[in-house]
Structure 1
Amino acid sequence: MFSQRKFRIAGIAGAAGLLLSGTAHAQSSVTLYGLVDGGLLYTSKTLDPATGGNAGKQFSFLDGGSAPTLFGLTGTEDLGGGLKAEFKLESGFSVANGAFSNSNGNLFGRQAYVGLANQYGGLKLGMQFSPFFLSLYDLDPRGMSQFGSGLPIYLDHVLGTGVFNANAVSYSSPVVAGFSGGAMFAFGGVAGNFQSGRQYSMNLKYDNGTVMVEGAFYNGNSGGTVNTAPPTNVAFIGRMLGASYKIGGLTAKASFINYKVAGGFNSNVYNAGLDFLALPTLDFNGGVWYVSDRNDTTNHSVMGALGAQYFLSHRTTLFGQAAVVNNHGAMNTGLSVNNALFSPAGTTTGVNVGVRHVF
């Protein structure tokens, strides 16, 4: 999901031949990959969970400033005739203390699936990202950075729901004339109650290399048999529609998102921003997000963020990010997935600097 520039994993692979019969062989490979991200965080305010007020400034070590720290194993096997088998096991952890983090709290709490793929598309079985979340990632002007992007807004509303989907079956289509799409259904696992914990999602994208237009939908129920921390079964309906335009090293993105949370906010999120690859070793990006609760428009926030990345090598990056958020009413939009997911009323500023290494 993450690269050096847009946080997609770059890994190392080894290939070996597997004897299937006296005359037939299938090629297989297994890749160990990972990403380690750490830095320092300053925010002018912090949220006091007991009072909802301002608990003061903070200056702290930050795990996952620009991307989640993780490691995983992925592999494929050529079954012949254009068919391949694939699997992925991905775990999130904290570079601060080595504990499980940046996941649903389990050993392979980010992704754990097996699947088949050919020219007609791909089928995956197991825990995986939803098409809705993947579409949000595509259209976020800051690549869903852990600091100052649409990701803290997402998690503020529904925590890990829709990011980590257990008991899921998904299909992703091939690209046909620029169009592609995907659909996912996740079983709640409760005998006699098919609706408990049930989740489904779909997306549709058109991309001709210059213009990209994408829409997505998510619907999830509370309940189910999967226990995770943070919760991944918040009942909500999500909708998004967005577009991007790329010319040279400049990409402009804009999207509309709605999070309708059962018993909570019904938030519209409007965002737009730019990403500019100024040099092969230097990238700048920035965006603005406006959030408004349709149930009570006095609950609203606006966040702006800027970031710069300097690529020391293909694998190692220095980054700096700055953001400001202004919350009104009951809105508590935060600046960072870790250490500052929620912010008190009024204006909060934050700065994050760090280093990221992929392997």
Structure 2
Amino acid sequence: MLHQGRFALKISTCVTTMFFAGAGYAQSSVTLYGILDTGVLYTNKTVGEFANQNAGRSFSLIEGGQTSSIFGLTGTEDLGGGLKVSFKLESGISPTSGALEDCNGNLFGCQAWIALDNQYGTLKAGLQYSPFFLAVDESDPRDLDLFGSGLVNYVDNVTGTGIFSPNSVSYTSPELAGFQGSVLLSLGGIAGNFQAGRQYSASLKYELGGFMINASIFDANAGGNAQTPAQTAVEYEGRTIGTAYKIGPVTAKLSFVNYKVSGSFNNNVYGGGLDYHVTPWLEVNGGVWVTSDRHRTANHSVMGALGAMYFVSTRTSFYAQVGAVDNQGQMNTGISTNGAAFGVQGTTIAAVVGLRHTF
């Protein structure tokens, strides 16, 4: 739902314009970018009409087996004196139907923000990812793949709340002695009720060489005036701490995430795994996530996945992934945010193969 792709190439056009507030010139650029990803998903169990009902095996063509399909515009302008303004408008699409897909359901429902940046940090306003969601991403061994990753647990627990934070203002500090912090406040926009729809998040990260450790919090109230077809206002508290260590082509990651949903469950998710760049053209990774409901430990699940991605060029790759999830009690953890977001009791085995192209 968020990646532009580590190997995405962008087509930029630069124009030189007169900066009338001074005697100099300003450089500006606008970039069109995107991802098209589609795959064939197999699951040996599928959620039926009723909760925990197994409707049987399923083959389906899905609009994103690894990453969401998106397109967007991003741009920057150098205002001089070290100050820059930037923006991003990003939409989720379905290559299987051409419809809007993923994100929050709106035209530019992935990201829509404007920012000011200088040596003192970045101030951003608009629809954006929360520091909490970005921290969860940084400590996920499969980079929040749509199949078999920490993203499945995130969406299962709170849908898009904190992924797509509307009406938000955030500040991210520059890196100081390896530390970097970020804070965000989402305003509900309801007259006379400052608490409805209010969200806040904060994160702190430390990096040294190949080592990283981060921690983050998130708190959201229900309500607000944001009009989003997808649910982005679940009332919950989130906490996470994660770490990563890179040795040559191998990166190991561990994480703990807690999702406490008001009036409902309180899930702890423990995750870990490895990512290995075998060659510049071949990458493999895998991970395991254990979820336990603190209110009733009989509700728990274990999810594991292994994936390989082969780059035939800097922009095009094939991928194959296999995974399984075992649900006990009332837990309904899925295996893929597209096509199998929720699971049934017992063990579900799944696989997806697909093609991904960035531009």
Name the TM tier (shorter chain): over 0.9
| Structure 2 CA distance for aligned equivalents of residues 237 and 292 of structure 1 | 16
> Do the aligned residues in 1 keep the contact of 2:35 with 2:70 (CA within 8 Å)?
yes
**Percent of aligned pairs with the same amino acid:** 53
String of CA shifts for 1:186-221, please: whole Å, max 9, x gaps: 000110000000000011001123100000110000
In the TM superposition, residue 3 of structure 1 has moved relative to its aligned partner by: 5.0
The reply on whether 1:160 has 2:155 as its aligned counterpart is no
In the TM superposition, residue 227 of structure 1 has moved relative to its aligned partner by: 2.4
In the TM superposition, residue 226 of structure 1 has moved relative to its aligned partner by: 1.2
Q: How does 1:13-28 map to 2 (within 5 A)?
A: 13-21=12-20, 23-28=23-28
Other-structure match for 2:3 = 2
| Structure 1 CA distance for aligned equivalents of residues 233 and 125 of structure 2 | 19
| Structure 1 CA distance for aligned equivalents of residues 116 and 40 of structure 2 | 41
| Structure 1 CA distance for aligned equivalents of residues 8 and 178 of structure 2 | 24
Other-structure match for 2:357 = 357
| Structure 1 CA distance for aligned equivalents of residues 105 and 345 of structure 2 | 30
> Do the aligned residues in 1 keep the contact of 2:51 with 2:344 (CA within 8 Å)?
no
Other-structure match for 2:236 = 236
The reply on whether 1:91 has 2:95 as its aligned counterpart is no
String of CA shifts for 1:132-179, please: whole Å, max 9, x gaps: 000111110000000010111100000010000000000011111111
| Structure 2 CA distance for aligned equivalents of residues 358 and 348 of structure 1 | 31
> Per the alignment, do residues 168 and 51 of structure 1 end up closer, same or farther by CA in structure 2, a change over 3 Å counting?
closer
> Per the alignment, do residues 237 and 9 of structure 1 end up closer, same or farther by CA in structure 2, a change over 3 Å counting?
farther
SS in 2 for 1:147: coil
SS in 2 for 1:133: helix
In the TM superposition, residue 10 of structure 1 has moved relative to its aligned partner by: 3.5
Gaps of 5+ in 1: none
In the TM superposition, residue 65 of structure 1 has moved relative to its aligned partner by: 0.7
> Do the aligned residues in 2 keep the contact of 1:2 with 1:9 (CA within 8 Å)?
no
SS in 2 for 1:151: helix
| Structure 1 CA distance for aligned equivalents of residues 309 and 4 of structure 2 | 13
Other-structure match for 1:57 = 57
SS in 1 for 2:154: helix
Q: How does 1:89-128 map to 2 (within 5 A)?
A: 89-128=89-128
| Structure 2 CA distance for aligned equivalents of residues 200 and 101 of structure 1 | 26
SS in 1 for 2:165: coil
SS in 1 for 2:166: coil
Other-structure match for 1:144 = 144
Q: Which amino acid aligns with 1:255?
A: S
Q: How does 1:183-332 map to 2 (within 5 A)?
A: 183-332=183-332
> Per the alignment, do residues 357 and 340 of structure 1 end up closer, same or farther by CA in structure 2, a change over 3 Å counting?
same
> Do the aligned residues in 2 keep the contact of 1:4 with 1:317 (CA within 8 Å)?
no
| Structure 2 CA distance for aligned equivalents of residues 136 and 259 of structure 1 | 12
In the TM superposition, residue 4 of structure 1 has moved relative to its aligned partner by: 3.9
| Structure 2 CA distance for aligned equivalents of residues 217 and 256 of structure 1 | 12
Q: Which amino acid aligns with 2:10?
A: G
Gaps of 5+ in 2: none
- Aligned-residue CA RMSD in angstroms? 1.1
| Structure 2 CA distance for aligned equivalents of residues 288 and 51 of structure 1 | 24
SS in 1 for 2:136: helix
In the TM superposition, residue 50 of structure 1 has moved relative to its aligned partner by: 2.2
> Do the aligned residues in 2 keep the contact of 1:13 with 1:32 (CA within 8 Å)?
yes
Other-structure match for 1:12 = 11
> Per the alignment, do residues 194 and 3 of structure 1 end up closer, same or farther by CA in structure 2, a change over 3 Å counting?
closer
In the TM superposition, residue 49 of structure 1 has moved relative to its aligned partner by: 3.5
| Structure 1 CA distance for aligned equivalents of residues 308 and 63 of structure 2 | 18
String of CA shifts for 1:9-56, please: whole Å, max 9, x gaps: 442211110112383211000000000100100000011142431011
> Do the aligned residues in 1 keep the contact of 2:5 with 2:35 (CA within 8 Å)?
no
Q: Which stretches of structure 1, 4 residues or more, deviate above 4 A after TM superposition?
A: none
SS in 1 for 2:157: helix
Q: Which amino acid aligns with 1:297?
A: T
| Structure 2 CA distance for aligned equivalents of residues 203 and 49 of structure 1 | 40
| Structure 2 CA distance for aligned equivalents of residues 51 and 178 of structure 1 | 47
In the TM superposition, residue 95 of structure 1 has moved relative to its aligned partner by: 1.0
| Structure 2 CA distance for aligned equivalents of residues 276 and 229 of structure 1 | 37
> Do the aligned residues in 2 keep the contact of 1:201 with 1:216 (CA within 8 Å)?
yes
